[in-house]
A and B are shown apart, each in its own frame.
Chain A
Amino acid sequence: MVQIALKMLTRNRGKYLAIIAGVSFASLLIAVQCSIFCGLMRLTTSQIRDVRDAQIWVMDPNIKFIADFRPLSSGAMHQVRGVEGVEWAVPFYKWISRARLDDGAVQDVILLGFDDATLVGAPRQMQQGDITDLRRPDAVIIDEVGFQILWPGEPVRAGKVFELNEKRAEVVGICRASKTFRTLPIIYTRYSQATSYVPPERKLTSYVLANAKPDESVDEVCRRIEAQTGLLALTKQGFTWKTMLFYVNETGIVANFAITVMLGALIGCAVTAHSFYLFTLNNLPQFGTLKAMGVRNTRILYMILAQGALAGAVGFGFGVGLAVFLCEAINRKSQLISYVPWQVLAGTALAVFSMVAAASLVSAQRVLRMDPALSFRE
């Protein structure tokens, strides 16, 4: 009977395409909106992700997210190094500084300073130059997108010179970095160099990056650091979540996206449910005939659910495929970034199949209640 149901669906081309279009549209809306939201959340944590060498971030207990600057005392690093289970700990500096170019133009930049000796936190994907070039005086590395912001239209190449807080900085390398929430150029340099670019202050460490010894639990080491130093120690993942939750809880981003996603889902749901309801209604005489011929209501229900499942699967496939394609296009052509984790696909699938199942069950009511004797009265 399921085969009959699927033939009833797929051979009715116009209606079938309308349902597929409805489901695809709903899937597309949900998947794209959620992917843009996930991309946005990833933007907020890109600098945490880019530091690949460190398992633990140690910071001021009042820090709310990565861009919340609350410097630590110079002794913090030594305190962390002294905690049992810590393999190593290095300073990490992060500040918003101001770059002055040859033509006098000024541009805010993100200044990142990492440990001189270990270079923990340095960029990993170099486009030009080498990370060891940073050992030269005044040497900085800039991300590719940042270069184009500072020197628009110019070929991306090392050798450019500019000023940071009235001190000379020379671009010795170009790297690839993840996009950030505020699209600012990222300047990478050694910790000692970075601190020379900012006004003298007593506290010049933004974070302490650390690793646990191989046989130690990272969570346990974090707990020990917190207990012994009074600082906040988070795993990389923990800090990522803290940052994302700040944006979720403290900004209107989530509410705005939730409304948009919900509206998209509602519209898609309405389109799909309407198309499917009309389709089932259109097939009412056929279902009535089948009932008169002895098909039980449960089998009729299976038939309608099978039609819904097929329409849902095909529509979901098209919708999500198109969503991934669109997200890829968005990532290439705009500063906005979208990200399609499996959770988005699973969530979209859940939403779409729930929607189709609901539409199937609602439309099935008419069929299940239908008196088979009506088949004689057409």
Chain B
Amino acid sequence: MITTTPIPLVTCRGVTRTYGSGEGATTALRGVDLDVLPGELTLLVGPSGCGKTTLISIIAGILKPTAGSVKAADQNLGFMTERSLAAFRAQHVGIVFQQFNLIPTLTAAENVAVPLTINRRPPKPSRTAVQHLLNEIGLGDRGGAFPSQLSGGQQQRLSIARAIVHQPRIVVCDEPTSALDQQTGRNVMQLLRAHAVQQNRALLVVTHDQRIFEFADRVVHLEDGRVTGDERIQRTPAGSLPQSEYVAPSQSPCP
């Protein structure tokens, strides 16, 4: 039987990011190496200020690394202009924010449709795609509701729908469950697995929430701007979710 190694969707090599200059400069990332495979749910964990959000911002094409290289969705982000990076984000990246970041004056359906509008997709198929996705996330009858009329869980589901409606290859999530209760958080993670990972997207989730570790395929631990642990979670053959298999990461920095 021949097995092939999947090609990483995201490749970071020696990624360093420094904010400011001179004596006030702060280094958020120090030579991070990371490969993210398609269909993989990767959790980025670590203490506050360890560089998790900076790392997903760089992978999403929002920030540029000060040093090192980032290749995502076959594009070398380090050499791209701001305009190209914006186009890259619009086309290849879906983002789920901690506070959902829905536009309060747009309805649920209009919020989900925003990435399609950004990508200038034709309105009619867009409406169909949005309605289909709203049905799938259980908000099919709430398309006309404004975010303020929805619960936190519903808003986060909407935020996930918005992140995947344009079929991006990479989805980054910043603390997607921190504002949610346990059950809602589990539902959100199941939704993310169903719609992101199973459709062969690379999913990177920044989190402090240990309750969701069981959903991960891999846990990458960051500390002081370095990767200090990288563990793959073994799945059962049927692919069911493991029961609390998370093990404390190694304390040794990655080479």
How long is the Cα–Cα vector from A79 to B60 in the complex, in angstroms?
Answer: 90
When C-beta atoms are compared, the residue in chain A nearest to B83 turns out to be A296
Contacts of A7 in B (CB 8 A): 105-106, 110
How long is the Cα–Cα vector from A7 to B110 in the complex, in angstroms?
Answer: 10
Instruction: Tell which of B57, B82, B115 touches A376, judged by Cβ atoms closer than 8 Å.
Output: B57
Whether B105 pairs with A294 at a CB distance below 8 angstroms is no
Nearest-CB distance from A166 to chain B (Å)? Answer: 79
Given contact pairs A1-B117, A294-B88, A294-B89, A289 touches B101 in the complex (Cβ within 8 A): yes
Whether B174 pairs with A376 at a CB distance below 8 angstroms is yes
When C-beta atoms are compared, the residue in chain B nearest to A11 turns out to be B105
For residues 30 through 88 of chain B, which have their beta carbon under 8 Å from a beta carbon of chain A? 53-54, 56-57, 60, 62-63, 82-83, 86-88
For residues 32 through 77 of chain A, which have their beta carbon under 8 Å from a beta carbon of chain B? none
* Count of chain B residues with a beta carbon within 8 Å of a chain A beta carbon: 31
When C-beta atoms are compared, the residue in chain A nearest to B63 turns out to be A373
Contacts of B95 in A (CB 8 A): 292-293, 375
Given contact pairs A293-B115, A372-B62, A375-B97, A12 touches B105 in the complex (Cβ within 8 A): yes
Q: Is A378 an interface residue (CB 8 A)?
A: yes
Nearest-CB distance from B5 to chain A (Å)? Answer: 31
When C-beta atoms are compared, the residue in chain A nearest to B54 turns out to be A373
For residues 1 through 18 of chain A, which have their beta carbon under 8 Å from a beta carbon of chain B? 1, 3-4, 7-8, 11-12
Q: Is B190 an interface residue (CB 8 A)?
A: no
Whether B114 pairs with A294 at a CB distance below 8 angstroms is no
Given contact pairs A1-B117, A376-B57, A295 touches B98 in the complex (Cβ within 8 A): no
Instruction: Tell which of A12, A286, A295, A377 touches B90, judged by Cβ atoms closer than 8 Å.
Output: A295
Whether A292 pairs with B110 at a CB distance below 8 angstroms is no
Instruction: Tell which of B57, B83, B88 touches A373, judged by Cβ atoms closer than 8 Å.
Output: B57
Whether B117 pairs with A294 at a CB distance below 8 angstroms is no
Contacts of A3 in B (CB 8 A): 117
For residues 302 through 338 of chain A, which have their beta carbon under 8 Å from a beta carbon of chain B? none
Q: Is B99 an interface residue (CB 8 A)?
A: yes
For residues 175 through 223 of chain B, which have their beta carbon under 8 Å from a beta carbon of chain A? none
Given contact pairs A294-B90, A378-B98, A4 touches B62 in the complex (Cβ within 8 A): no
Instruction: Tell which of A294, A297, A372, A376 touches B118, judged by Cβ atoms closer than 8 Å.
Output: A294
Whether B86 pairs with A295 at a CB distance below 8 angstroms is yes
How long is the Cα–Cα vector from A351 to B56 in the complex, in angstroms?
Answer: 46
Dominant SS among interface residues on chain B:
helix
How long is the Cα–Cα vector from A372 to B56 in the complex, in angstroms?
Answer: 13
Q: Scan A276-298; emit 1 where CB is below 8 A from any B CB, else 0.
A: 00000000011001111111110
Whether B91 pairs with A289 at a CB distance below 8 angstroms is no
When C-beta atoms are compared, the residue in chain A nearest to B163 turns out to be A293
Given contact pairs A292-B62, A294-B90, A373-B63, A8 touches B106 in the complex (Cβ within 8 A): yes
Nearest-CB distance from B157 to chain A (Å)? Answer: 17
Q: Is B145 an interface residue (CB 8 A)?
A: no
Q: Is B150 an interface residue (CB 8 A)?
A: no
Contacts of A285 in B (CB 8 A): 101
Given contact pairs A293-B115, A294-B118, A378 touches B87 in the complex (Cβ within 8 A): no
Contacts of A296 in B (CB 8 A): 82-83, 86-87
Instruction: Tell which of B89, B90, B101 touches A378, judged by Cβ atoms closer than 8 Å.
Output: B101
Whether B118 pairs with A8 at a CB distance below 8 angstroms is no
How long is the Cα–Cα vector from A270 to B82 in the complex, in angstroms?
Answer: 34
Contacts of B12 in A (CB 8 A): none
When C-beta atoms are compared, the residue in chain B nearest to A3 turns out to be B117
Contacts of A11 in B (CB 8 A): 105-106
How long is the Cα–Cα vector from A122 to B60 in the complex, in angstroms?
Answer: 83
Contacts of A289 in B (CB 8 A): 97, 101, 103
How long is the Cα–Cα vector from A372 to B90 in the complex, in angstroms?
Answer: 13
Whether A4 pairs with B89 at a CB distance below 8 angstroms is no
When C-beta atoms are compared, the residue in chain A nearest to B88 turns out to be A294
How long is the Cα–Cα vector from A295 to B174 in the complex, in angstroms?
Answer: 19
For residues 110 through 157 of chain B, which have their beta carbon under 8 Å from a beta carbon of chain A? 110, 114-115, 117-118
Given contact pairs A294-B86, A294-B93, A4 touches B103 in the complex (Cβ within 8 A): yes
**Interface CB pairs A-B, < 8 A, 25:** A1-B117, A4-B110, A4-B117, A7-B105, A7-B106, A11-B106, A12-B105, A285-B101, A290-B114, A291-B86, A292-B62, A293-B93, A293-B95, A293-B115, A294-B88, A294-B115, A372-B62, A373-B53, A373-B54, A373-B57, A376-B56, A376-B97, A376-B98, A377-B53, A378-B99
Residues of B within 8 A of A (CB): 53-54, 56-57, 60, 62-63, 82-83, 86-91, 93, 95, 97-99, 101, 103-106, 110, 114-115, 117-118, 174
Closest 3 A/B residue pairs (Cβ): A294-B90, A294-B89, A11-B105
Q: A8-B105, A376-B97 are in contact. List 10 more A-B contacts (CB 8 A).
A: A4-B110, A7-B105, A293-B90, A293-B114, A294-B86, A295-B86, A373-B57, A375-B97, A376-B57, A378-B99
Residues of A within 8 A of B (CB): 1, 3-4, 7-8, 11-12, 285-286, 289-297, 372-373, 375-378
